[in-house]
Amino acid sequence: MRNSFVGSPVERREDLRFVRGRGQYVDDLNPDGLLHAVILRSSFAHGRIRSIDASATVKLAGVHAVITARDMPGGPPRIPMRLQPLPEFMPFEQGVIADTKVRYVGEPIAVVVATSVAVGEDALDHIVVDIEPLPAVSDCETSAAGDRLLFEQQGANCAMTFTAECGDADAAFKAAAYVRREKFRTGRHFGLTLEPRGVMAEWDAATGRLTVSGAAKVPFFNRRVLAEQMGLPEDSIAMIENDVGGGFGARGEFYPEDFLIPFAARYTGRPVKWIEDRRENLMAMNHARQAQVEVEIACAHDGTILALRGHAHVDMGAYMRTNGAVAARNIAQFMAGPYRIPNIRVKSSLWMTNKTPVGTYRGPGRFETDFFRERLLDMVAKDLRLDRVELRRRNLIPASHMPYPLPAIAPFPASDEIDSGDYRATLDRCLEEFGWADKAKLAGKLIDGRFHGLAVGCFIEGGAAGPKETARLEINPDGSVAVFIGSSAVGQGVETVFAQIAADALEIPMDRISGVHHGSTAYVSDGYGAYHSRSVVMGGSALLDATKNLHNLIRTAAAKRFGCLPSEIKISEDGIVGPHGSSARFADFAGLTAEGAFLNKKHTYTFGAHAAHVTVDARIGRIEIIDYLAVTDCGRIINPMTVRGQVIGSLVQGLGGALLEDLKYDKDGQLLTGSLADYLLPSASDFPNLRAVVTEMFPSPINPLGAKGAGEGGIISAGGVVANAVANALGAFGVEPRELPLTPQRVWEMVEAGRLAT
């Protein structure tokens, strides 16, 4: 009988070691001779470096070195783009340390290497830096004005404009019976992790080998970059993936510290460790989300959407970092979301400003563009006096149209299509589970001093980014099997789900999977990491290929032992059986190892619907989530327990971005939210009433598992659904939210503006 671990709610294997305090994070590593790196960061948002004098600093007790740009032969290397590596972005790439100019508060200027963090931090005060201040480019409007340039040689601050297009939007607008234009904004926030970033590097001069601990997300790509920057053969660098306290798209990309710490280790000949403090984390790790859009929609009288067009402007910060273009690109290409809109032209311009550079954060671009679109749809329904639910149902892409082509994106053209799904089914399931028909009666009512509001929204989530993932299986001396995977672990539960997949494929009990080893560059020949909801689809499919290859090796070896044909060998949980009663144990083939791979150029598309019931105290602008339901169909489900955890976890982050989180800068480019006293995060008591339903009605046809990525569906819809629920609650005041986050102050101001207007 075949196993059925896949599809079962198996408890996470990794949890036991974490709750016992036995995880091993990079800061737990303390080799002999360890030195500590502390980074001097710019306090200016924009300025020219006249001089850096560290002569007094290097004489201090406990200071082993002070490293600046002049210590790097040929100058500081630049960090290349990992995704969308277009030539237009190259002039805006970041050097690993400031050389002639600083462009954001927090940019590295010098690295002090000392016997302790305390000694290093004290030493920072002795470095004399002379910077000529320059006027800051504080927002997209200032950037577009063009009189203040971050990169003078470029002559402009716009790095790129993406265009997503299908059909003939202009013609559709001319013929439309109804048109509405709106402006929306999303605030700047990011994927703040429980554990800040950290890197430790050890240089072995005798062998010319470098070991870097603290790798996460994309270790193989980062190794390629570091090898080129340091002039080392790629195979002389080992990237070690330790336990990670959260990733969310931000952690694990190549940052300046990923070069500076290995460089410092080779420079000093000693192991060097750097651990980011929370202030650095807020100002140095990739930011996200800040965008504004002017968008138009054209409809027929019955609410059928005919066309969508608009122009988004995205605040990119000071540099184009490794994956920084993704969100801006997605804003353009996915503004239509799960709806059938035949005519689309949406542009997205990337503006450089004197802020921390941006990168991806769970649901990059989709959170923003879903807020823009779903807010607009509720406004359309109100104008046309249509039911909000029916407007959506009428325009959702029907199952009969799958696979459904997405708008073309330029530049960096790539065709893509939605693989499978019935969007009306998840909408109906959401409404039924939520009790929409009964709760809708509360819309706009004032009960016990609070106004009640409801909203619903639909989404799609892209996943399974290629081009490849690699896995390896090895039989241990005791007959158990070790799994090695190129995917990385950033909290998704991969040690559990890959064990489930491997056990089912090998037809052995899960306790015979001795361990799942992930991420580190020593485990497999190549790997692509964890991003774009890809790990299960890509890594799991590679595991299936590795299983097939291991079975072939076992059959070949057993056939040689038994003197028969490989086709005569049968493999089962109990062992290997040949003809005439011959048999062997798995342990008899210890050391056999097989690698597998999965190549893929298409994406999976998870889909679903969210519904929210909120109350608003109009006197103080306070919003409370009374009930929130997310229904997600993610193809074949490997572990429903971990999927539900992913949905709820990402939903909490989405609500944080919708209601609380906001990285604020002043006009001089100074970060005003430099601590967790100023940057507000959701706590355990903020959103107690969240529910998730996961379904598997539509397996993906593009991979052998039938799985789809499911790590981001909870976050994508949160902003639009909450904003629509608030508008529904405060309809008596004419409140129409056009900007996130919906802080109490912002809500109160909208209410007061509504009172004055009436």
pLDDT at 93: 98
Q: Are residues 581 and 470 part of one domain?
A: yes
Q: Are residues 611 and 581 part of one domain?
A: no
The pLDDT tens digits of the residues spanning 558-572 come to 999 999 999 999 998
The answer on pLDDT for 177 being more than 90 is: yes
The pLDDT tens digits of the residues spanning 15-61 come to 999 999 999 999 999 999 999 999 999 999 999 999 999 999 999 99
The answer on pLDDT for 703 being more than 90 is: yes
The confidence band for 684, taking pLDDT boundaries of 50, 70 and 90, is confident
Average pLDDT over residues 79-101: 97
The answer on pLDDT for 534 being more than 60 is: yes
Q: Are residues 201 and 59 part of one domain?
A: yes
Q: Are residues 551 and 664 part of one domain?
A: no
The answer on pLDDT for 368 being more than 50 is: yes
Distance of alpha carbon 426 from alpha carbon 610, whole angstroms = 9
Range of the domain at 534: 15-22+465-599
Average pLDDT over residues 65-78: 97
756 falls within a domain? yes
Beta strands in 318-366 (DSSP E): 343-352
Q: Are residues 470 and 455 part of one domain?
A: no
pLDDT at 574: 87
Instruction: Point out the least confidently predicted range of 409-423, 542-556, 584-598.
Output: 409-423
The answer on pLDDT for 231 being more than 60 is: yes
pLDDT at 632: 98
Average pLDDT over residues 537-549: 98
Q: Are residues 679 and 541 part of one domain?
A: no
598-624 burial code (b ≥16 CB/10 A, e <16): bebebbbbbbbbbbbbbbbbbeebebe
Per-residue HEC secondary structure of 312-328 comes to: EEEEEECCECCCCCHHH
Determine how many CB atoms are found less than 10 A away from the CB of residue 204: 13
The confidence band for 688, taking pLDDT boundaries of 50, 70 and 90, is very high
Residue 252 structure tokens: 């694990």
The pLDDT tens digits of the residues spanning 375-427 come to 999 999 999 999 999 999 999 999 999 999 999 999 987 789 999 999 999 99
pLDDT at 14: 94
Residue pair 519/466 in contact by the 8 Å Cβ criterion = no
292 falls within a domain? no
Query: Which are the contacts of 677, defined by CB distance < 8 A and separation ≥ 6?
Result: none
Residue 655: CATH number of its domain: 3.30.365.10
Q: Are residues 519 and 487 part of one domain?
A: yes
Q: Are residues 542 and 642 part of one domain?
A: no
171 falls within a domain? no
Closest alpha carbon to 255 in 31, 98, 95, 46: 95
541 falls within a domain? yes
pLDDT at 219: 97
Q: Are residues 534 and 589 part of one domain?
A: yes
Residue pair 402/340 in contact by the 8 Å Cβ criterion = no
Closest alpha carbon to 373 in 454, 295, 455, 463: 295
The pLDDT tens digits of the residues spanning 467-515 come to 999 999 999 999 999 999 999 999 899 999 999 999 999 999 999 999 9
Average pLDDT, the chain: 97
Q: Are residues 131 and 55 part of one domain?
A: yes
Distance of alpha carbon 60 from alpha carbon 64, whole angstroms = 9
Q: Are residues 489 and 514 part of one domain?
A: yes
The answer on pLDDT for 1 being more than 60 is: no
The pLDDT tens digits of the residues spanning 281-331 come to 999 999 999 999 999 999 999 999 999 999 999 999 999 999 999 999 999
157 falls within a domain? no
Domain final residue pick, 252, 284, 316: 284
Average pLDDT over residues 86-93: 97
Q: Locate tokens 């008899």: which residue?
A: 588
Closest alpha carbon to 39 in 225, 285, 355: 285
The confidence band for 757, taking pLDDT boundaries of 50, 70 and 90, is confident
Structural domains of the chain, count: 3
Residue 725 structure tokens: 């629920």
pLDDT at 2: 64
The pLDDT tens digits of the residues spanning 157-172 come to 999 999 999 999 999 9
Q: Are residues 748 and 655 part of one domain?
A: yes
Closest alpha carbon to 649 in 443, 754, 492: 492
First to last CA, the chain: 71
pTM of the model: 0.96
The answer on pLDDT for 221 being more than 90 is: yes
366 falls within a domain? no
Residue 88: CATH number of its domain: 3.90.1170.50
